[in-house]
Amino acid sequence: MLRFDRRLLLNVDWVLIGAVLVVALIGLANIYSSTHLYKETGAPLYLKELTYYLFGAAVLLLIVSIDYRVLLTLNYPLYVAMILLLLFALVFGRNVSGAQRWINLGFFRLQPSEPAKLILVITLASYYYRKETGKGFGLLDLAVPALLTGLPFILIAKQPDLGTGLLLGFIFISMTLFVKLRWATLATLLCGGLSVIPIAWKFFLKPYQRQRVETFLNPENDPLGTGYHIIQSKIAVGSGLIFGKGYMKGTQGQLDFLPERHTDFAFSVWAEEWGFMGSALLVICYFFMILWGLNIAISARDKFGVLLAFGVVSLIFWQAFINLAMVMGLLPVVGVPLPLISYGGSSLLTNLAGLGLLMNIRMRRYMGSS
């Protein structure tokens, strides 16, 4: 089955590996800083995260060693599995602070909405690859991919996890814009989308979700409630100044003022302790990784590779942008993790698997056609 090709080794993407390593080390050091004061039963969180990293590396190696074109035959089984997992989480899932997001596997608590993001990328890439564009997609051509996105979107939004749900929407929009759309289609969608927002606001959003958006627009109205997160995070980031307060010396993070400081607000801890220098370095590292991913996309050997790589890049980009903008007070608090930095096994494994796909595509760019 696995035929070893020496060219694969020659084309290993050391640049991407290097960038991932830098971000990973920053992430681990940061989790240690933000959680070493926690009194958890069981293993310390940074050790758990390290275990996830090692496990993730194994997953990444496995993905790299199998030609990504296998996904063209696996995409629908994967999609069905994802829907079943999401349904399972909704019905039997573990309830953590009001949300049914987790499936308990005993050794690991899986959050199926995380792999769902990547599986959606694979599904859409396969669909758009198979569908001939011709003069560009019309409105009707979009019905199937919209449905494919809508189903997991509803299941995830129902958990309720609006952040991840919206992320699926962003991935769908990015990938659809990337393949050719007719101008008329684009215009219709734009108008339709804008008119849906007020309706969604009124009927679809839960009160707490509406409150979050309102708080975001005016955080000082509610400094102790939902505005607390945004204010404390902005203070943490801002008080880092140029060089930061020093590793493990951030007062906001260490003194418990920052909520969710090892998960969604991990970057605030980093920014507080390492200042503008550290945070700019991390942001640049990230965006370098993302731009490099686009470079991989355009140098792929076939169109499926291009679409897949682009999808993975959009997945990482949107997560990173939404999270960073959120902790800097540019977007409402929606609960999207920062890839490779926020604590959490499901998110880490998904993002490492995505990066594995990128490396996979990169390594096979010179392979001939079958």
Partner 1 sequence: MSPRPLAKINKIDPAELKMLKKRIDIAMAVIIFFAALLLTRLWYLQIYHGDDFAKLSEINRIRIQQIAAPRGNILDRTGQPIITNRPRFNVVWSREDAPNPDAVIKDLAKILHEDISVLLDRIRAATENPRYMPTRLKEDIDWETLVTIENKHLSLPGVRIEVVPSRDYLYGDFASHLVGYLAEISPAELAEKRYAKYQSGDQVGKQGVEKIFEEYLKGEKGRNYLEVDVHGFEQRQMQLQEPFPGNDLHLTLDIELQRAAEEAMGDKAGAVVVMEVNTGNLLVMCSTPQLHLQEFVGGISTTAWNKLLNDPLNPLLDKTIQGQYPPGSTFKIVTALAAISEGVITPDATYFCGGSLNFGNRKYGCWKKGGHGTVDFHRALVESCDVYFYSVGMRLGVDNIAKYANSMGLGKKTGIELEHEKGGMIPSTAWKQQRYKEKWQEGETLSVAIGQGYVLTTPLQLCRMTAAVVNGGTLYRPQMVQSVTAPDGRILKTFAPISDGKILGSAHSLALIQDALVGVVNSANGTAKVVKLPDVLIGGKTGTAQVVRLTQNEGLSGNNIPYKYRDHAWFTSFAPAEKPEIAVTVLVEHGQHGGSAAGPVARAVYKRYFELKAGKQGETTAEPAPSLPKDEKEE
| Residues that bind partner 1 in the complex, under the rule CB under 8 A | 1-3, 37, 39, 41, 67, 69-70, 72-73, 174, 177-178, 180, 223-224, 228, 232, 234-242, 251-252, 254-257, 271-272, 275-276, 279-280, 283-284, 287, 290-291, 294, 297-298, 300-304, 306, 310, 313, 317, 321, 324-325, 328-330, 367-370
What SS3 class is residue 270? Answer: helix
Q: How far is CA 80 from CA 87, 89, 150, 349, in A?
A: 11, 14, 14, 20
**Residue 128 Cβ, how far from partner 1 at the closest point, in Å?**
11
Q: Nearer Cβ to partner 1, position 247 or 276? A: 276
Determine the Cα angle at 270 with ends 99 and 208, to 5°.
Answer: 25
Q: What stretch of H or E contains 100?
A: strand 99-104
338: alpha, beta or left? (left if phi > 0; alpha if psi -120 to 50): beta
Q: Nearer Cβ to partner 1, position 10 or 54? A: 10
Measured CA to CA, the distance from residue 226 to residue 266 in angstroms comes to 18
Whether 128 and 307 have beta carbons less than 8 Å apart is answered as yes
**Residue 321 Cβ, how far from partner 1 at the closest point, in Å?**
5
Exposure of 150 by Cβ count < 10 A (0-12 exposed, 13-18 middle, 19+ buried)?
middle
Whether 302 and 130 have beta carbons less than 8 Å apart is answered as no
**Residue 192 Cβ, how far from partner 1 at the closest point, in Å?**
22
**Residue 37 Cβ, how far from partner 1 at the closest point, in Å?**
6
Q: Nearer Cβ to partner 1, position 64 or 155? A: 64
| Residues in CB range of 164: below 8 A, 6 or more apart | 113, 114, 116, 117, 156, 335, 336
**Residue 291 Cβ, how far from partner 1 at the closest point, in Å?**
6
Q: Nearer Cβ to partner 1, position 53 or 304? A: 304
Exposure of 156 by Cβ count < 10 A (0-12 exposed, 13-18 middle, 19+ buried)?
buried
Q: Nearer Cβ to partner 1, position 209 or 295? A: 295
Q: Give the dihedral sign, CA 166/168/171/172.
A: negative
Q: Nearer Cβ to partner 1, position 142 or 325? A: 325
Q: Nearer Cβ to partner 1, position 53 or 267? A: 267
| Residues in CB range of 130: below 8 A, 6 or more apart | none
Q: Nearer Cβ to partner 1, position 66 or 146? A: 66
